[in-house]
């Protein structure tokens, strides 16, 4: 496709791969040495993966639970499996598309024997770590602003991690009022679907919350009849508390089911996290 682009980012430690809606930042190490050559090869593979997913859009725009005949394409099947694991009837497999693509590229690289791989698809991140390796991820309380409130340190106790974020100001529609929901799971595909569901659940009604059918904003959307949030005014403390309580209820359900390892949700400056969130990671540090 004519808009495909691969470029080395400043510092010589990462590559940017862009194609249509996909914007991957790929980092790969063999011990202490960055492997930009393998990252470039993986970028080409990412373009192939995106084309495969695009060829399945007619199926992937349907609610996951209504798909009675699974496609043969492995990435499409993975997306369907992820939204079915989350269990929300209104989720389509496209809720997991960014994370699934990041996973595919990360697995490709990690399968080459690399020790640390980080693939960031617009904030949906797949991480692969060999024993003894670590990775640090900055968490934003507001997707629309670059400020980081927490730093999550992951280690090689698990080789595969997914850290993804959903909410107001993100690339996709949300039914809730979360300024950010970050989910952590064993894969970015699962985390992506879960973050979408938890962000949707993070809602409290009020006169200052405006929602409209998604089709009014995008006639080609996969969720045309769902009410999605377009504006949030000054929320009361009770509204923020109710929304976060609803988000945590959903996140705790997914944690108990083993879909995610935990989640952190924010409505403005109010932040809450699932119980025992920190026990899964090397460290979760709040920044002053």
Q: What does the alpha-carbon distance between residue 232 and residue 206 come to, in Å, rounded to a whole number? A: 9
Residue-wise burial string across 11-43, b where 16 or more C-beta atoms lie within 10 A, e elsewhere = eeebbbbbbeebbbbbbbbeeeebbbebbbbbb
Q: Are 201 and 180 contacting, i.e. CB atoms less than 8 angstroms apart?
A: no
State the pLDDT at residue 278: 80
pLDDT category at 3 given cuts 50, 70, 90 is confident
- Range 78-87, long-range pairs (CB < 8 A, 24+ positions): 78/103, 78/189, 79/53, 79/189, 81/189, 82/187, 82/189, 82/190, 82/192, 82/193, 83/193, 85/190, 85/193, 85/257, 85/259, 86/190, 86/193, 86/194, 86/196, 86/197, 86/254, 86/259, 87/257
pLDDT category at 146 given cuts 50, 70, 90 is confident
State the pLDDT at residue 70: 92
Q: Which of 194, 138, 185 is nearest to 160 (CA)?
A: 185
Three-state SS letters, 201-243: HCCCCCCCEEEEEHHHHCCCCCCCCCEEEEEECCCCHHHHHHH
pTM above 0.85, yes or no: yes
C-alpha dihedral (97, 112, 24, 149), degrees to nearest 10: 90
Q: Are 95 and 84 contacting, i.e. CB atoms less than 8 angstroms apart?
A: no
pLDDT tens figures, 243-269: 999 999 999 999 999 999 999 999 988
Q: What does the alpha-carbon distance between residue 195 and residue 85 come to, in Å, rounded to a whole number? A: 13
**Helix/strand/coil for 160:** strand
pLDDT, mean of residues 143-149: 88
pLDDT, mean of residues 101-124: 97
pLDDT, mean of residues 119-128: 97
pLDDT at residue 10 tops 60: yes
114's CB contacts (< 8 A; 6+ apart) are 28, 29, 30, 35, 38, 128, 130
Q: Which domains does the chain possess?
A: 5-286 (3.10.520.10)
State the pLDDT at residue 2: 66
- Alpha carbon separation from 218 to 35, 99, 142, 180, 223 (Å, rounded): 40, 22, 23, 22, 9
Q: Which of 91, 68, 105 is nearest to 79 (CA)?
A: 91
pLDDT, mean of residues 69-80: 96
**Helix/strand/coil for 35:** coil
State the pLDDT at residue 168: 94
pLDDT category at 279 given cuts 50, 70, 90 is confident
- Alpha carbon separation from 75 to 1, 52, 273 (Å, rounded): 20, 8, 30
Q: What does the alpha-carbon distance between residue 175 and residue 82 come to, in Å, rounded to a whole number? A: 19
188-201 helix and 74-86 helix, angle to the nearest 10 degrees: 40
pLDDT at residue 288 tops 70: no
State the pLDDT at residue 147: 87
């Amino acid at each position: 496709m004519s808009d495909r682009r691969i470029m080395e980012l400043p510092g010589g430690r990462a590559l940017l791969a862009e194609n249509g809606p996909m914007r991957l930042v790929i980092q790969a190490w063999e011990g202490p040495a960055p492997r930009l050559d393998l990252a470039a090869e993986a970028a080409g593979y990412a373009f192939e993966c995106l084309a495969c997913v695009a060829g399945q859009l007619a199926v992937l725009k349907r609610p996951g639970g209504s798909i009675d005949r699974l496609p043969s394409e492995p990435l499409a099947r993975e997306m369907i499996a992820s939204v079915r694991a989350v269990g929300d009837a209104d989720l389509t497999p496209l809720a997991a598309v960014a994370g699934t693509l990041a996973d595919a590229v990360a697995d490709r690289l990690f399968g080459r024997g690399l020790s640390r791989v980080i693939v960031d698809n617009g904030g949906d991140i797949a991480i692969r770590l060999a024993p003894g390796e670590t990775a640090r991820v900055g968490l934003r309380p507001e997707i629309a602003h670059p400020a980081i409130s927490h730093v999550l340190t992951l280690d090689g106790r698990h080789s595969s991690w997914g850290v993804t974020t959903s909410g107001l100001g993100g690339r996709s529609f949300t039914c809730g009022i979360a300024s950010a929901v970050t989910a952590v799971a064993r894969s970015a595909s699962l985390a992506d679907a879960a973050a979408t569901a938890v962000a949707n659940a993070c809602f409290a009604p009020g006169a200052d919350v405006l929602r409209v059918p998604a089709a009014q904003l995008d006639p080609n959307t996969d969720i045309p009849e769902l009410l999605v949030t377009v504006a949030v005014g000054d929320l009361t403390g009770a509204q923020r508390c109710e929304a976060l309580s609803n988000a945590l209820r959903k996140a705790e359900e997914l944690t108990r089911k083993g879909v995610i390892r935990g989640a952190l949700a924010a409505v403005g400056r109010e932040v809450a996290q699932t119980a025992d969130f920190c026990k899964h990671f090397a460290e979760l540090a709040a920044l002053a």
